[in-house]
Chain A
Amino acid sequence: MSEPILDLHNLRKTFGALTATDDVSLTLHPGEIHALIGPNGAGKSTLIKLISGELRPDSGTIRFEGQAIDRLGPAARARLGLARSFQVSAVIPGFTVLENVMLAVQGASGASFRFLRPALRDRALTEPAQFHIAHVGMGTRAHMPAADLSHGERRRLEIAMALALRPRAFLLDEPMAGMGTEGARDLTAILSELRTEAPILLVEHDMDAVFALADRISVLVYGRIIATGTVAEIRASEAVRAAYLGDAA
């Protein structure tokens, strides 16, 4: 296999007596969607936060495109191209869709200390932003305040923001959460296209989406990866069935 974009090595994170991440090693390769599944409280969001830099591991290392990023803060990691979406939809509610995506373009450009030109007239921000908004099918919503969007639209906006970061890898934490079946189907199509931009580490509860999208699946239980494999392998695994999938599979 090719060199991994993202390479987690023996990560461990404890909260007091609780081990939320227990010796996790995992890779993300170019072009792939690697799904991370597991019951509530298994430590999926914690793992995403360790990668994005919001949390620091107790031990273990993270390499991103061959470079150890353990010492970098979350803003620096985002600038390297680690694009993260949040489990709880996170946009700037008082901004329009356009302004939200402009903010992401601005973040990726690394040039926030510009004081004179109105941002809305800065074509280096508006043009890429409009492009990404169109990409997720939100072209007609560009001037709507993010607070007025439907849940599904807000999720799309987040994807547009992630795209604007010119990502080298996506970290998506339950992008389908709270969406109806139709919204979930739409988003599945968008995510499937997204993998050509950059590989995706996908935390998701919607098993239809996971089975439709994932190239590989890792199953996390009590902070430990108990299995990694293709969709077929994971579906067939007795251990996974017992620990997690239950009747769902």
Chain B
Amino acid sequence: MTREAALNAALFVALIGTALVAQALGEGFIITLATKAAIFALAGVGLNLVLGYGGLVSFGHAAFFGLGGYATGILASHAMSGVPVATLPFTLNGSTEMLAIWPLAIAASGLAALAIGALSLRTSGVYFIMVTLAFAQMIYYLAISWPAYGGEDGLSFYVRNTFPGLNTFDPIQFFAICAGLLAAALGLVAVLTRSRFGLALRAARQNESRVVAVGIRPYSIRLLAFMLSGMIVGLAGSLYADLNRFVSPAMLSWHMSGEIMVFVILGGVGRLFGPVAGALAYIALEHLLGGVSDYWQALLGLLLLAIVIYAPGGLIGLIAGRRHV
């Protein structure tokens, strides 16, 4: 086992262990924190596919996080009111089944990512950052000004959605769902980035014209990566909505895009478990320092600065050493 593989395993054990110990001690709040860390890590894993492996600095991934969340909230609230979400072109009823909600949340965020990616990937560099940000802000303002689903106030749905065979109200069981999906997403990204597709994606990050010169169009490779990334982040958004039983435009705001980016950068850009390390560190810092001082975000800023300057491989890179990707 390489050092990085050992570190990755340790990180995952730490996440699960925290939740299990908290369960044994009856610390429900800590389980919720671990759940939040798993969900944020999942969002980071999604973003890492484009940011880390593809070198595409998307500043608009809150759009997919929020769309996944809103899809969940809207379906759940319609299930409660009994009014169909839509009757044309086909009847779409609300649902409180996670297994029905997830595919729709993933599809909604995936379609949005396809559309946003198709346009923004025609630009590069700072323009790409700005275009992705602009699209996300458009969706944010749409959510604010659309009163049907709470507008600025957001949308509560009071009862967590259900999963067959599990009691999702039990924090540890809901945690298990989130951790399971995180593991699945990590597996998916590990396989994808080693495949031919991943080879082309990683090559395009490093030298685009070289990739073109061997006959591969980076655009289509990147667009698919962007869409898959949006789908994973959308699933994270769905879980986040269920964690809080509430969605609001904040999930769609650029702060959220920045936060997801922080998980990735803090943990290690382009490292498989970077977002896991980053989300764990973020939640731990927020929990430990947030109580002490309102200025914990400033400390986080300093930490980020130090990471970017002295340890571009993030926490994973600090511990496991450099690696070429």
Contacts and interface: CB of A to CB of B under 8 A. Distances in A.
Interface of A: 52, 54, 73-76, 78-79, 83-84, 86, 90-95, 99, 102-104, 106-108, 110-120, 122, 125, 145, 147, 161, 164-165
B216 A107 contact: yes
A203 to B, nearest CB: 15
Interface in B172-214: 191-192, 194-200, 202-203, 206-207, 209-214
A164 B215 CA distance: 11
Looking at chain B's contact residues, the main secondary structure is helix
26 contacts: A54-B212, A73-B217, A75-B217, A78-B215, A79-B215, A83-B213, A86-B209, A94-B206, A94-B325, A95-B206, A103-B199, A103-B200, A103-B203, A103-B216, A106-B214, A107-B215, A107-B216, A108-B215, A110-B215, A112-B196, A112-B200, A115-B191, A115-B195, A119-B195, A119-B199, A122-B196
Contacts of B214: 78, 103-104, 106-108, 161, 164-165
A120 B324 contact: no
A76 B215 contact: yes
Contacts, number: 102
A102 B194 CA distance: 13
Nearest to B214: A107
B123 to A, nearest CB: 18
B195 A117 contact: yes
B104 to A, nearest CB: 23
The 6 closest A-B pairs by CB, nearest first: A107-B214, A78-B215, A107-B215, A79-B215, A94-B324, A118-B194
Contact of A119 (B198, B212, B224): B198
A95 B215 contact: no
B28 to A, nearest CB: 39
B225 to A, nearest CB: 11
Contacts of A94: 202, 206, 324-325
A232 to B, nearest CB: 34
Contacts of B216: 75, 103, 106-107, 112
B20 interface: no
B199 A93 contact: no
Given A99-B199, A106-B200, A112-B196, A93 B206 contact: yes
B221 interface: yes
A90 B194 contact: no
A93 B211 CA distance: 12
A116 B207 contact: no
B247 to A, nearest CB: 31
Contacts of A73: 217
A147 B148 CA distance: 56
Interface in B207-259: 207, 209-217, 221, 224
A52 B213 contact: yes
B199 A102 contact: yes
B38 to A, nearest CB: 25
A113 B215 contact: no
Given A92-B207, A108-B215, A114 B324 contact: no
A196 to B, nearest CB: 22
Nearest to B191: A116
Contacts of A117: 195-196
Contacts of B217: 73, 75
Nearest to A124: B196
Contacts of B191: 115-116, 118
Contact of B196 (A83, A106, A108): A106
Given A74-B212, A90-B213, A161-B214, A106 B199 contact: yes
A74 B214 CA distance: 9
Contact of B213 (A74, A115, A119, A145): A74
Given A104-B214, A110-B215, A92 B203 contact: yes
Given A115-B195, A119-B195, A91 B215 contact: no
Interface in B51-71: none
A73 B209 CA distance: 12
A107 B200 CA distance: 9
Contacts of A116: 191, 195
Given A90-B210, A91-B210, A114 B197 contact: yes
